[in-house]
Structures are given as structure tokens and as C-alpha cells.
Amino acid sequence: MLTAYGGRLLPDGPLRADPAEAARLYALATADFGPNRARDWALYQLFTFQLPDNLTGVMAAYPTFQAQNRDTLLSRNLRQFLRDLRHLQPGQLAPSFTLLNHEGRPVSLTDFRGKVVYLDFWGTWCAPCRQELPASAQLARQFAGRDVVFVSIAVNDAEQKWQRVLATEQLTALGQVQLRSPDAIVPTAYNVVEYPSYLLLDRQGRIRLTSAPRPSAGTATVAAIEQALQQ
């Protein structure tokens, strides 16, 4: 019920970047629930749902949330989410990492400075991820020999299964960089909450797109990479 309630509060689209909007939402929720934890939880869910695509709107609402919310755990969680996401905005340096590739060699993000990076978080256990593999291969072929590197990070995969899928799908034959993250440390640093997730980094290792088009998006993905290459 509380999850659906957010859709009732904002039936016309995303949260506006206007502090008055948050005050209006709190007035509506207080009238429905009273000034209690149910109200605070409903607004917290609404704001966290908006976060991935509407940081500006949530930032504008945060002072009202801080003043009205009575649950310290919710306040601490939302504050941490905002802090993490501010570090992932376009123009910020992408979080560094060093992971082992399919040959057991350490590979760092800094190894690719000077090149555009198309970063993919996926898993062999993820059906939508597997569906993107043919389009990923086509994208790598299309940009072969250019200053772009395709970095795929398999998350929470057993090494044996990961290696088997890489071999079966011939995912190392096109110059794609195949890495494995045995835990959630790297995807958490990138605020990955769904799979597959794609980001586009510029030549200086700065975030260009936090939600880059999927390989299967075709011309939209090619255009995003081409624009990054021209910068």
C-alpha cells in the first residue's frame, strides 16, 4: 500500500525541483496518515524511488524531509544515498577499482585513461544481461580500433561458470575487457541497483552518463559513444 501511495502523490510524473513541492506532499501525507511513521515511510519510499533519475528533485525536497521526518534511520539512509549519488554525477571522477580479468591479471580503471569507457555491470545469472550479449559483441565490432574500451564486470558470479560463459559466447575475442567482482563492493560504489547497468566514462575517467543506453538500443548507444569520443 505505501509503495503504491507514492504514485498517488505524484500521478503526473517526477518530483519537481521546488521546495514547495515537498511541503505540498507532506501536507497531503499528513492528512492521510497523520504525523507518524507510516507517513514518514511513504515519503521516504517516494524520494528513494525518485533518486536514480531525479537527484535534483530529491535534493530540493531533502530540507523538508529533514524537518518533518521523525524516523532517524530513514533520515540517515536518505542522507547516505544522497551523499553517494552526488559522487556519481556527470563530471565526477568514476570510482576507482582493480579487479582480475579472465586470465587472472589485475586490471584497474586507471589503465584506460585517454580512452572512452563503456562500463557494463552484468551477471551470467541475469537473463536480461545474457540477452544483451549479441548486441554487445556487435557494438565492440563497430568500434574496433577506436579509442573506446568495453569493460564488463560480472557480479556475484562463480569463476568457473563465468569462465564457461565467456568461452561459450566468445566474449574475449573482440577486445572486450572481462572482469569479475566476487562481491558487491564495486557495484555498490557505482550505486548499481539493477542488472544490466551501463555507464559511459570520458577520456579523463569522469562520468559522462550514469544510465548509458544498452547495446541493444542501437543508434542511441552509438551516438552516445561517438559524442564522448569527440570531447
Q: For residue 167, give the C-alpha cell.
A: 568461452
The pLDDT of residue 59: 87
The pLDDT of residue 1: 59
The pLDDT of residue 9: 84
The pLDDT of residue 3: 62
Q: For residue 28, give the C-alpha cell.
A: 497531503
Q: Please, are residues 68 and 26 in contact by the beta-carbon 8 Å criterion? A: yes
The low-confidence residues of the chain, meaning pLDDT below 50, are: none
Tell me the chain's radius of gyration from C-alpha atoms. Answer: 20
Burial class (CB in 10 A: 0-12, 13-18, 19+), 110: exposed
Distance CA 216, CA 129 (A): 11
- The 3-state secondary structure of the chain reads CHHHHHHHHCCCCCCCCCHHHHHHHHHHHHHHHCCCHHHHHHHHHHHHHHHHHCHHHHHHHHHHHHHHCCCHHHHHHHHHHHHHHHCCCCCCECCCCEEEECCCCEEEHHHHCCCEEEEEEECCCCHHHHHCHHHHHHHHHHCCCCCEEEEEEEECCCHHHHHHHHHHCCCCCCCCEEEEECCCHHHHHCCCCCCCEEEEECCCCEEEECCCCCHHHCHHHHHHHHHHHCC
Give me the residue label for grid cell 505505501. 2
The pLDDT of residue 208: 96
The pLDDT of residue 56: 85
Angle formed by the axes of helices 55-68 and 72-86, to 10°? Answer: 150
The pLDDT of residue 85: 77
